[in-house]
């Protein structure tokens, strides 16, 4: 025979309800800090990439063997243009989500929907930033080492400052990718704390 007992008082209902633990405010504070770091890394990577212009006198290997000025700029490579576009999106996303996280930190409790949306967009942005970092890093490596099999010459011995800017920008972007991974892990952990046990 099935029991027909139902709790009548609020205290009995509270005892029988599953426990749902909200993540502590330290998680929300860490989220705000990481999102600000994402904004900062996106901004720094874009600024360093955009300022990577260098002009050098390059010898012409044909008569009259003169040296002509040639410049290296980020917009000479589609991979670097994609890098600037992707990291600009990451910086803007980082700024917007920093503000949203900060204002939700001021509230007593953060909604699960907000954290769930952050996870989805963080994963999407991680794919975009990782692809941009990989493509820019591959072109930068070709500039540094060249490829003797297809006769692509290295250029970093001529355009040293340009290559330093590109390498620094890729390194900052890699830091931004790591920040995004930490944000995803933090958000998934915060969501897992809300699951009733």
pLDDT tops 90 at residue 112: no
Please write the tens of the pLDDT for every residue from 69-106.
Answer: 888 888 989 999 999 999 999 999 999 999 998 888 88
Mean pLDDT, the chain, integer? 85
* Residue 122 domain flag: yes
pLDDT confidence of 20, banded at 50, 70, 90? very low
* Residue 49 domain flag: yes
Predicted local distance difference test score (pLDDT) of residue 179: 96
* Residue 4 domain flag: no
The radius of gyration computed from the CA coordinates of the chain, to the nearest angstrom, equals 25
Number of domains in the chain: 1
DSSP state of 74: G
* Residue 3 domain flag: no
* Residue 153 domain flag: yes
* Residue 2 domain flag: no
Contact (Cβ atoms closer than 8 angstroms) between residue 179 and residue 34: yes
Query: Phi and psi of 73, rounded to 5°?
Result: -140, 155
| Global model pTM greater than 0.85 | no
Domain that holds residue 186: 10-193
* DSSP per-residue letters across 133-188: HHHHHHHHHHHHH-BTTTTBPP-TTT-HHHHHHHHHHHHHHHHHHHHHHHHHHHHH
Predicted local distance difference test score (pLDDT) of residue 113: 83
pLDDT tops 90 at residue 148: no
């Amino acid at each position: 025979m099935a029991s027909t007992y139902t709790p009548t008082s609020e205290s009995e209902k509270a005892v029988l309800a599953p426990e749902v633990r909200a993540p502590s405010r330290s998680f929300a504070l860490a989220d705000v800090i990481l999102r600000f770091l994402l904004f900062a890394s996106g901004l720094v990577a874009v600024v360093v990439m955009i300022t990577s212009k260098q002009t050098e006198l390059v010898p012409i290997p044909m008569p009259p063997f003169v040296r002509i000025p040639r410049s290296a700029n980020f917009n000479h490579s589609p991979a670097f243009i994609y890098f600037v576009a992707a990291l600009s999106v990451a910086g803007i996303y980082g700024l917007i989500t920093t503000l949203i996280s900060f204002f939700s930190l001021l509230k007593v409790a953060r909604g699960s929907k907000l954290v769930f949306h952050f996870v989805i967009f963080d994963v999407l942005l991680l794919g975009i930033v990782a692809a941009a970092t990989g493509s820019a890093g591959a072109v930068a490596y070709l500039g540094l080492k060249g490829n003797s099999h297809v006769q692509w010459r290295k250029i970093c011995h001529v355009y040293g400052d340009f290559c330093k800017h590109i390498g620094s920008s890729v390194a900052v972007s890699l830091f931004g990718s790591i920040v995004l991974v930490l944000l995803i892990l933090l958000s998934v952990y915060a969501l897992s704390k809300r699951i009733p046990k």
